[in-house]
């Protein structure tokens, strides 16, 4: 990791923001190569999610939105992390990071009094717990609830006797360490002082618009790009020729005021997201139209969306689509992993969530989350704005018009019998069904939400390689190379004249640059030995280098005139090809 | 303008941000077509400023930077507008907009007491002044100073007797209307109440990073993208193979807390900039190397940069480059204008500034500013950060090494004699020259700074047209069409099957969509009469429509099999061409 960070700074991928002023924790800038890399990643996402499809349209919304957007989404109330302050050293400690901040010595000191009398002290158990998902991954939304849920589970397991005695007791004691119930004092991981009880700290950056700072014009920097899509859903439906199923995608900056930003650019305070909200029919509507709902089962064909798909098929479809996207930019099964959230881990409105994980040098962490969110978001915005956000589905209306009264009644009966909330009355179910029969509903949504900075870091991590190479003179040296997929490589092709003081070589090399430049990012370099120039491009991750030499310009006879040396980054192989063949060769590799 | 705003909403170019919550003044979202348009504009800028050149590299920096960046740049102290509050109705009034907010009736009432006794009241003079640049264009930076400067000029003119008596007196009285010196009360343009004296209101959005809101972690949302380029200048120089002259470009969001956002998206609180900082040698260095500095004169050849160019040539070069960029996306001399700031209007550090203006429906306003800023910005950041930001110029060192002692002395003599600040000592000049002789200097900068949202609005304004067309049946109707240049058009080509219920037509149309989609944004539409589909694409500004009919699929014999109708948006002409020729035809038009 250290080597990667150093390379990123040295070669102009990533700098600390405002570095000359001492930097700003959690903010990172992208230098020339990093900016190109990010731009290429945005382009591949845009290509895959918009251009290559008929059913997704883009949106480009503001970072500062009406604060009610964040009331409706729940961010104002629940987008917080629990935080404690040390009464002695005044440092701030994010409660869920307390575990990882504690040194081993502090652990032993703290936990020793909790050891079960007569049992050996089991540090393995301790670290197993500290590494557990709830405490390590810090799912920002409603983390406090996560912690409470975990506690409840542990207590439940205790009552049922599911754990071996020592393990069970140990977990309970650890898990309740910072709760007042045990009376135990949680020590500051920095100084050992007493920490205050955790309090929720909202992660949204606050600002004020207009000239007076008051509660009336408080605004937030968006903590995600997704909500703008829900807020503008109706406008998009009314102004574009979209019909469910369809998606709205957005790429843009988002901000989270992390208490402790960490892992380089992975968890930063300002970052960029690439989010898609894909709107589908509720399963009830699909059943009314098609008489059935296609359910997912292992091995189901996900290649082409079908009209009778239910939400689970759509969810699986998007997991497959996103997996193939990652494969297409060089992140294959060897570096990716999947975490399917367990039913008890899901947010209350979510039907399924899978995290696509990448094996970062600092651990396996989330690259993208793909959630089936039902109609939660649109329903919230409909309620808070008072504006109807339902769509009208001609096909549904036609299908329902053909139903007999008995069929309708049976549908209502089933809907009432299968209602999730027992407080819902028969009348309410009837009204909802009547609306549905008219062709109206709130679409459900599948949300593939990717982090651009995380993706850039994953691409850099996966690409980084060091290898020992032996030159012609038998001398060994270490070659550092970024094995980017050509599609995302910042520079696609570097062009060198063999010698910079030979105008015929320089002119020819510049001609080649000129001929390629409309199609790809090319880089011209004339200084230093050819071997050094190759190495520099290896570090920049440039997949192809072209060298113009005396053969090219015909000085060694007509046999090789008009040919250049094409050097491949990964194999370091060189081949002689005609200049005329170069554009097609490169285009094939980049496609 | 109203028609354009309505079209933009109806067709999904631009929506009010958070519209379902009543909107947010000064914030605008871009819908599907608007997002594509902005993306195309970004791409054309990137192509022209980076890809097609060897000497410009990109940067992608954070919106929140260290607050010292804004101390160094002067924004903390001077980036403000003067603002008054009405003591009666409590409304806020931006002092420089007071003129335009006043109704004619209010004017007469207010100004009547100021009329020169015995002279007829001259409203022409009044409006001439209200339309003058200082008050109308509101140059955000140090506006208060602008106002003071204008006052001083008027007073000066008064003393010299340069004005005719009534005009002169009138100006003085108007200009000092809101100053306490006259004792006159400035009336509120809304209710006629008394306004407070104007106070500076800083236009930067404020926020806090980290968990505690205090002055220690106050931060600003960047009011421009340019400063990040200066702050990261050294990192870029150290990590890229750039050498003066070279540029760093950046596209990104910026924020200004305008007191009264207005003119649709023209002056909004959140906007996107496309800025280039192009670093050049100081003229002294050029003279030391080349013995002379090429100065600009009317008709000078600006096509290709030359090593001996001075700052003025570079400045003119960039004006020419940017003009040709605008031409390339359809904004020609008929819609652009230029305003060269007069010497007395320039910021103290600026050597020259030209505004490229566009003739908007609401007036001719700035699209881009191109400033020659000397080394002001790098010098400020060097001073505030304490980090040396000078570059080393091998060529300059070599040239100076070849100078005789007499030549050096003569250079120092001249530098001392021509120093601008008389307080600078001979010793200080000597030290600066000695540093220069070693090859070190702070580069000077030319800054072409364009607003993406303004550009999008200009493109929309220029493209909007209504015309009366007569259909085959002799019926007249109004055709609304957006005549975008094909390069920036959101949709490049729409493809229609003549009838949606004929699978052979639908299949062929979708095949064509598929074949084009990797190269451009295509749109498939099968619903409605062909004529209506054409009109819809006219409103979206799609330059080409392709219709697949029975000829295409060979139902009318082999003569036209494999051909389609290509319909041109502007001429509405249709031609029959082979499907095989389509990609090349479109590629030529889009290039």
What ipTM was estimated for this complex? 0.87
Q: What is the pLDDT of residue B135?
A: 39
Q: A259: which chain B residues are within 8 Å (Cβ-Cβ)?
A: 210-211
| Dihedral-angle region of residue A65 (phi above 0 means left; psi in -120 to 50 means alpha; beta otherwise) | beta
Question: Is there a contact between A30 and B60 if contact means CB atoms under 8 Å apart?
Answer: yes
Q: Determine contact: A588 vs chain B, CB below 8 A.
A: no
Mean pLDDT of chain A: 87
Instruction: Give the C-alpha separation, A355 to A339, whole Å.
Output: 5
Task: Tell me the C-alpha to C-alpha distance, in Å, between residue B172 and each of A65, A548, B163, B168.
Answer: 44, 71, 11, 6
pLDDT of residue A194: 77
Q: Is A10 on the interface with B (CB under 8 A)?
A: yes
pLDDT greater than 60 at residue A127: no
A-chain residues within 8 Å CB-CB of B61? 17, 29-30
pLDDT average, residue stretch A223-245:
96
Nearest-neighbour CA in chain B from A130: distance (Å):
24
- Return the residue in B12, B94, B204, B384 with the most chain A beta carbons within 10 A, the one to mutate for interface testing: B12
Can you read off the two tokens belonging to residue B122? 């001259």
pLDDT of residue A290: 96
B65/A269 CB distance under 8 A? no
Judge whether residue A184 has pLDDT over 60. Answer: no
Model pLDDT for residues B119-160, shown as the tens digit of each residue: 544 445 455 544 443 333 333 323 334 444 555 555 565 556
Indicate which of B10, B38, B60 best probes the interface with A, i.e. most A CBs within 10 Å of its own CB. B60
- A182 falls in which pLDDT band (50, 70, 90)? very low
Nearest residue of B to residue A237, measured between CA atoms: B12
User: Which residues 295-324 in chain B show a CB within 8 A of chain A?
Assistant: none
Q: Taking a contact as any Cβ pair under 8 Å apart, which residues of chain B between 501 and 560 contact chain A?
A: 513, 517-518, 521, 524-525, 527
Q: Min CA distance, A468 vs chain B (Å)?
A: 24
Closest-approach residue (CA) in chain B for A84: B211
Residues of chain A found within 8 Å of residue B513, distances taken between Cβ atoms: 54
**Residues of chain B contacting A31 with CB distance shorter than 8 Å:** 59, 232, 235-236, 239-240
Minimal C-alpha gap between A408 and chain B (Å): 30
CA dist., res. A289 & res. A285, Å (int): 6
Q: Does B196 touch chain A (CB under 8 A)?
A: no
Is there a contact between B18 and A65 if contact means CB atoms under 8 Å apart? yes
Q: For residues A444-456, give the mean pLDDT.
A: 98
Query: Could you write out the DSSP letters of every residue in A182-235?
Result: G-PPPBPTTT--BBPPPEEEE-S-EEE-SSS-SGGGEEEE-S-SHHHHHHTHHH
Q: Is the CB of A228 inside 8 Å of chain B's CB atoms?
A: yes
Q: Is the Cβ–Cβ distance between B375 and B442 less than 8 Å?
A: yes
For residue B20, give both structure tokens: 């379902």
pLDDT, tens digit (0-9, with 9 covering 90-100), for A250-276: 999 999 998 888 899 999 999 999 999
Question: Minimal Cα–Cα distance from B266 to chain A, Å?
Answer: 15
Q: Across the interface, which of B250, B253, B385 has its CB nearest the CB of A21?
A: B385
A 320-359 → B contacts, CB under 8 A:
none
> Is the CB of A60 less than 8 angstroms away from the CB of B35?
yes
Of B34, B62, B389, the CB nearest to A270: B62
Closest chain A residue to B28, measured at CA: A62
- Put simply, whether A383 touches B (Cβ < 8 Å) is no
Size of interface A-B (CB pairs under 8 A): 244
Closest approach of A234 to chain B, Cα-based (Å): 9
Tell me which residue in A9, A207, A270 faces B205 most closely, judged by beta carbons.
A207
Instruction: Tell me what percent of the residues of chain A surpass a pLDDT of 90.
Output: 70
Model confidence over B431-483: pLDDT tens digits?
Answer: 999 999 999 999 999 999 999 999 999 999 999 999 999 877 888 999 999 99
Chain A residues touching residue B253 (CB < 8 angstroms): 63, 253
- Judged by CB atoms closer than 8 Å, whether chains meet at A270 and B241 is answered as no
The contacts of residue B505 (CB under 8 Å, 6+ apart) are: B497, B498, B499, B548, B549, B550, B552, B553
Give the pLDDT band (50/70/90) at residue B181: very low
Q: Is B256 on the interface with A (CB under 8 A)?
A: no
Residues 70-89 of B with CB under 8 A from A: 83
Q: Which pLDDT score, from 0 to 100, does residue A90 have?
A: 82
Phi and psi for A291 in degrees, rounded to 5?
A: 75, -10
The length of chain B in residues reads: 591
Q: Is beta strand A218-221 parallel, antiparallel or unpaired with respect to A206-208?
A: antiparallel
pLDDT for res B156: 61
**Closest-CA residue in chain B for A256?**
B209
Residue with tokens 């306004």: B195
Residue B182 pLDDT greater than 70, yes or no = no
**Side-chain half-sphere exposure of B222, counting CA atoms within 13 A:** 25
pLDDT band for position A216 (50/70/90)? confident
Mean pLDDT confidence for A528-542? 95
Q: Tell me what pLDDT residue A103 has.
A: 57
Cα–Cα distance measured from residue B153 to residue B142, given in angstroms and rounded to the nearest whole number: 17
Q: Do B27 and A269 touch (CB under 8 A)?
A: no
Say whether B39 and A46 touch across the interface (CB within 8 A): yes
A384–B21: do the CB atoms touch at under 8 Å?
yes
Count of residues for chain A? 591
Inter-chain residue contact A62 with B28, CB threshold 8 Å: yes
* Residue B232 pLDDT exceeds 70: yes
For chain B, say whether A270 makes contact (Cβ under 8 Å). Answer: yes
Q: Which residues contact A226 (CB under 8 A, 6 or more apart)?
A: A250, A273, A275, A277, A377, A447, A449
Q: How far is CA A371 from the centre of its chain?
A: 12
Q: How far is A211 from chain B (nearest CA, A)?
A: 6
In angstroms, rounded to a whole number, what is the distance separating the alpha carbons of residues A327 and A336?
A: 10
Give the pLDDT band of residue A324 (cuts 50, 70, 90): very high
Residue position matching structure tokens 């400020």: B380
The DSSP call for residue B309 is B
Check residue B562 and give its pLDDT: 94
Give the chain A residue whose CA is nearest to the CA of B24. A66
Task: Tell me whether residues B66 and A23 touch, CB distance under 8 A.
Answer: yes
Residue A468: beta bridge partners? A478
For residue range A366-389, list pLDDT tens digits in order: 999 999 999 999 999 999 999 999
Whether residues B270 and A63 touch (CB distance < 8 A) is answered with: yes
In A452-521, DSSP assigns E strands to 464-470, 476-482, 493-497
Residues of chain A positioned with their CB less than 8 A from the CB of B497: none
Share of chain A above pLDDT 70, in %: 84
């Amino acid at each position: 990791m250290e080597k990667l960070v150093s390379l990123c700074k040295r070669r102009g991928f990533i700098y600390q923001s405002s570095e000359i002023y001492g930097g700003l924790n959690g903010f990172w800038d992208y230098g020339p190569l990093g900016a190109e890399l990010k731009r290429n990643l945005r382009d591949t996402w845009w290509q895959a999610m918009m251009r290559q499809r008929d059913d997704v349209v883009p949106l480009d919304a503001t970072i500062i939105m009406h604060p009610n957007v964040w009331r409706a989404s729940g961010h104002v109330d629940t987008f917080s992390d629990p935080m404690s302050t040390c009464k002695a050293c005044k440092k701030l400690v994010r409660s869920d990071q307390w575990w990882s901040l504690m040194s081993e010595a502090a652990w032993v000191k703290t936990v020793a009094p909790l050891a079960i009398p007569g049992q050996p002290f089991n540090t393995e158990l301790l670290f197993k717990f500290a590494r557990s998902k709830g405490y390590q991954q810090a799912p920002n939304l409603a983390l406090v609830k996560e912690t409470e849920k975990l506690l409840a589970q542990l207590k439940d397991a205790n009552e049922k006797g599911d754990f071996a005695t020592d393990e069970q007791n140990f977990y309970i004691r650890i898990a309740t360490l910072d709760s007042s119930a045990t009376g135990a004092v949680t020590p500051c991981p920095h100084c050992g002082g007493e920490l205050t009880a955790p309090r929720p700290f909202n992660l949204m950056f606050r600002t004020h618009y207009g000239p007076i700072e008051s509660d009336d014009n408080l605004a937030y920097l968006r903590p995600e790009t997704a909500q703008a899509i829900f807020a503008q859903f109706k406008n998009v439906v009314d102004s574009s020729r979209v019909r469910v199923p369809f998606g709205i995608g957005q790429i843009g900056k988002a901000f989270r005021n992390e208490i402790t930003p960490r892992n380089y650019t992975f968890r930063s305070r300002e970052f960029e997201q690439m989010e898609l909200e894909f709107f589908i029919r509720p399963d009830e509507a699909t059943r009314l139209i098609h008489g059935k709902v296609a359910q997912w089962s292992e091995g189901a064909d996900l290649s082409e969306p079908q009209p009778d798909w239910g939400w689970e098929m759509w969810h699986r479809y998007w997991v497959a689509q996103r997996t193939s996207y990652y494969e297409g930019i060089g992140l294959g099964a060897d570096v990716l992993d999947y975490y399917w959230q367990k039913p008890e881990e899901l947010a209350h409105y979510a039907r399924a969530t899978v995290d696509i994980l990448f094996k970062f040098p600092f651990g396996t962490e989330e690259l993208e989350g793909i959630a089936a969110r039902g109609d939660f978001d649109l329903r919230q915005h409909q309620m808070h704005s008072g504006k109807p956000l339902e769509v009208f589905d001609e096909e549904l209306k036609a299908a329902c018009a053909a139903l007999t009264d008995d069929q309708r009644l049976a549908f209502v009966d089933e809907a009432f019998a299968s209602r999730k909330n027992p407080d819902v009355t028969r009348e309410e179910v009837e009204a909802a069904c009547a609306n549905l029969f008219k062709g109206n509903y709130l679409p459900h949504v599948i949300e593939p939400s990717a982090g651009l900075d995380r993706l850039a870091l994953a691409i850099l991590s996966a690409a980084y390689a060091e290898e020992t190479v032996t030159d012609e003179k038998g001398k060994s040296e270490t070659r550092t190379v970024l094995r980017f997929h050509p599609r995302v490589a910042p520079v696609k092709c570097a062009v060198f004249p063999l010698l910079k003081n030979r105008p015929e070589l320089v002119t020819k090399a510049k001609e080649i640059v000129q001929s390629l430049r409309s199609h790809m990012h090319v880089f011209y370099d004339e200084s230093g030995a050819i071997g050094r120039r190759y190495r520099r491009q290896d570090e920049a991750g440039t997949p192809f280098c072209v060298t113009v030499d005396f053969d090219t310009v015909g000085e060694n006879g007509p046999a090789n005139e008009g040919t250049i040396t094409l050097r491949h980054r990964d194999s370091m192989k060189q081949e002689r090809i005609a200049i005329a063949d170069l554009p097609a060769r490169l285009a094939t590799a980049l496609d």
